[in-house]
């Protein structure tokens, strides 16, 4: 069920809100079971066959969490961690690993591609975060209902944000509609939902029409002109931002309607003046996860410069692999690991850089590496790079107006989170949002709906 679909906007969400409001008022002890049931309906709507995977995953990890504090079971945490990663690998990386193994002379393993369950990367990481914190003594034992809702809460189960248990579990015990700021929260949630839909429908999806044909041509081995290469690369740079940040805005807004505050995930990333600054602004909850649960356990910056640079490289390479089962994703992550390592060396050497130059270099690096992220093969990426660096026909017809407008919104404008929390509640704002929502519905009904890019991860 897509956030940008009629069935969600006009059926599921209104029904869920009415049921939640009634339960919250008359039977507050039913609130959490209701939210979990709604989450199962939302998840199963896409493909009910994967519901058992989600339910069994929750049940097994909860049972492991119950047993984890016992000293006799010291083997349980590594076994649970390995088990979660094996399930993720089986669905997401089986074919990729077989292809890698077939590079060894004499091996000929079959290429098996299982259907990828939606959200498996995200709910697997949620399991890992909670079990890691429980083992370290930072997390409390949770009842089954709270743990299940933490994992499966429908606004964030498919594509994040990656939420720590400490950011959400304490909110499960609240009576959200009895808060003095309840009306304001609902208003801000509705505005976030409309803004996120606008980013997806009016900016992200139109850019896909400039991006997809060019990368499809490059993948098919066709030539790509310089104009097409720049159009596709710049178009994807802003398409993925508006697509994913739009989804996040919607997720945060929908959660607010049910009385849950989720963490911010984007903070104007294309305004970053260094690569480190970019990763503090882009997909912030994933960056935090990689830092706390991979980079720091690998040594972080506590074991010398060589270990720090190596830990950055390994962390970002694995982060690239998390995004997709392909060597281009690995190369994208490795490139960012090398870039972050170069930044560490630069700072250790006492290097200084004017902010405008830092922004230009960071933007150029991020834009160029997005090619690896988007291209399904190195051959396709090379074709695009040839166009970018003038090794192809110049071409014509660069669609600059939409890209320029998207760039101005992404770089000059504030984040949706900051803007909406800075706006005072006013009736004209409510009317404008209502009108915009109607226009969005007309647009959704008129055009093809694109899935969110991060659903594939």
Give me the mean pLDDT over the 109-132 stretch.
Answer: 84
Please list, residue by residue across 22-52, b when 16 or more beta carbons sit within 10 angstroms of its beta carbon and e when fewer do: ebbeeeeeebbebbbebbbbbbbbbeeebbe
Last residue of a domain, one of 178, 206, 225: 178
- Sign of the four-CA dihedral 329, 333, 334, 339: positive
- Judge whether 396 and 227 are in contact, CB under 8 Å: yes
Whose structure tokens read 């409510």?
Answer: 430
Would residue 284 count as lying in a domain? Answer: no
Give me the mean pLDDT over the 51-64 stretch.
Answer: 95
Q: Quick check: 344 pLDDT over 70?
A: yes
Most distant CA atoms of the chain, gap in Å: 71
Residues 97 and 137 in one domain: yes
Give me the mean pLDDT over the 37-58 stretch.
Answer: 92
Rounded Cα distance, 279 and 277, in Å: 6
Residues 437 and 451 in one domain: yes
- Percent of the chain past pLDDT 70, that is, above it, reads 97
Residues 105 and 226 in one domain: no
pLDDT at 124: 93
Residues 370 and 395 in one domain: yes
Would residue 298 count as lying in a domain? Answer: no
Residues 168 and 240 in one domain: no
From 126, 127, 283, 323, active-site residue: 323
Last residue of a domain, one of 146, 178, 210: 178
- Kindly report the pTM of this predicted structure: 0.92
Rounded Cα distance, 126 and 151, in Å: 6
- Judge whether 193 and 251 are in contact, CB under 8 Å: no
Q: Quick check: 46 pLDDT over 90?
A: no
* pLDDT band, residue 399 (cuts 50/70/90): confident
pLDDT at 414: 85
Mean pLDDT lowest among 99-108, 167-176, 352-361: 99-108
The CB-based long-range contact list for 345-351 (8 Å cut-off, 24+ gap) reads 345/305, 345/309, 348/305
Would residue 34 count as lying in a domain? Answer: yes
Would residue 242 count as lying in a domain? Answer: yes
Residues 190 and 218 in one domain: yes
Q: Quick check: 446 pLDDT over 70?
A: no
Q: Quick check: 448 pLDDT over 60?
A: no
Would residue 402 count as lying in a domain? Answer: yes
DSSP line for 381-446: HHHHHHHHTT-S-------HHHHHHHHHHHHTSPPHHHHHHHSPP-HHHHHHHHHHHHHHHHHHHH
Residues 213 and 258 in one domain: yes
Q: Quick check: 449 pLDDT over 70?
A: no
pLDDT at 418: 85
323 is catalytic: yes
Q: Quick check: 457 pLDDT over 70?
A: no
Average pLDDT over all residues of the chain: 91
Residues 200 and 269 in one domain: yes
Rounded Cα distance, 61 and 196, in Å: 33
Rounded Cα distance, 134 and 124, in Å: 15
Mean pLDDT lowest among 24-28, 51-55, 191-195, 299-303: 299-303
Residues 158 and 205 in one domain: no
Other beta carbons within 10 Å of 112: 10
Mean pLDDT lowest among 109-118, 353-362, 388-397: 109-118
Would residue 329 count as lying in a domain? Answer: no
Q: Quick check: 71 pLDDT over 80?
A: no
DSSP line for 198-226: HIIIIIIHHHHHHHHHHHHHHHTT----H
* pLDDT band, residue 450 (cuts 50/70/90): low
Question: What is the tens place of the pLDDT at every residue in 404-429?
Answer: 999 999 999 888 888 888 887 778 88
Residues 191 and 50 in one domain: no
Last residue of a domain, one of 127, 152, 178: 178
State the DSSP code for 71: G
Mean pLDDT lowest among 178-187, 434-443, 445-454: 445-454
Would residue 330 count as lying in a domain? Answer: no
- Judge whether 146 and 169 are in contact, CB under 8 Å: yes
Domain hosting residue 38, numbered range: 6-178
Q: Quick check: 106 pLDDT over 80?
A: no
Could you give the number of structural domains in the chain? Answer: 2
Is the pLDDT higher at 34 or at 418? 34
Would residue 35 count as lying in a domain? Answer: yes
Mean pLDDT lowest among 54-63, 283-292, 428-437: 428-437
Residues 200 and 173 in one domain: no
Residues 360 and 221 in one domain: yes
Is the pLDDT higher at 368 or at 99? 368
What's the distance, Cα to Cα, between the start and end of the chain in Å?
A: 16
């Amino acid at each position: 069920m897509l956030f940008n679909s009629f069935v969600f906007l006009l059926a599921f969400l209104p029904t869920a809100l009415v049921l939640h409001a009634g339960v919250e008022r008359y039977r507050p002890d039913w609130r959490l079971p209701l939210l979990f049931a709604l989450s199962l309906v939302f998840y199963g709507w896409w493909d009910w066959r994967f519901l058992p995977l989600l339910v069994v995953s929750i049940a097994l990890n909860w049972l492991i969490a119950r047993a984890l504090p016992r000293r006799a079971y010291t083997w349980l945490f590594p076994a649970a961690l390995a088990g979660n990663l094996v399930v993720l690998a089986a669905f997401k990386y089986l074919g990729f690993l077989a292809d890698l193994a077939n590079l060894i002379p004499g091996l000929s393993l079959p290429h098996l591609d299982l259907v990828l369950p939606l959200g498996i990367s995200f709910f697997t990481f949620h399991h890992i975060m909670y079990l890691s914190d429980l083992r370290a003594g930072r997390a409390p034992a949770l009842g089954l209902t709270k743990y299940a809702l933490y994992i499966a809460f429908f606004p964030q189960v498919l594509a994040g944000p990656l939420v720590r248990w400490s950011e959400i579990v304490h909110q499960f015990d609240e009576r959200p509609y009895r808060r003095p700021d309840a009306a304001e929260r609902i208003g801000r949630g509705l505005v976030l939902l409309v803004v996120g839909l606008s980013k997806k429908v009016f900016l992200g999806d139109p850019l896909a029409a400039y991006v997809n044909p060019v990368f499809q041509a490059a993948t098919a081995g066709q030539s790509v002109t310089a104009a097409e290469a720049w159009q596709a690369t710049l178009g994807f740079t802003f398409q993925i931002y508006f697509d994913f940040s739009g989804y996040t805005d919607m997720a945060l807004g929908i959660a607010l309607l049910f009385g849950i505050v989720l963490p911010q995930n984007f903070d104007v990333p294309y305004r970053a003046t260094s690569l480190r600054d970019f990763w503090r602004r882009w997909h912030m909850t994933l960056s935090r996860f990689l830092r706390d649960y991979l980079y720091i356990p690998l040594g972080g910056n506590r074991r010398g410069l060589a270990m720090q640079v190596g830990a950055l490289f390994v962390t970002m390479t694995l982060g690239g692999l998390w995004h997709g089962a392909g060597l281009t994703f690995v190369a994208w992550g490795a490139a960012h690991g090398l870039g972050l390592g170069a930044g560490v060396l630069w700072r250790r050497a006492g290097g200084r850089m004017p902010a405008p130059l830092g922004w230009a270099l960071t933007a150029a690096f991020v834009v160029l590496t997005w090619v690896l992220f988007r291209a399904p093969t190195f051959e396709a990426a090379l074709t695009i790079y040839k166009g970018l660096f003038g090794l192809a026909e110049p071409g014509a017809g660069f669609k600059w107006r939409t890209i320029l407008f998207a760039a101005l919104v992404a770089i000059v404008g504030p984040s949706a989170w900051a803007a909406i929390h800075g706006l005072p509640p006013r009736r004209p704002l409510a009317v404008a949002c209502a009108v915009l929502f109607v226009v969005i519905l007309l647009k959704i009904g008129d055009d093809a709906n694109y899935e969110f890019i991060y659903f594939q991860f």
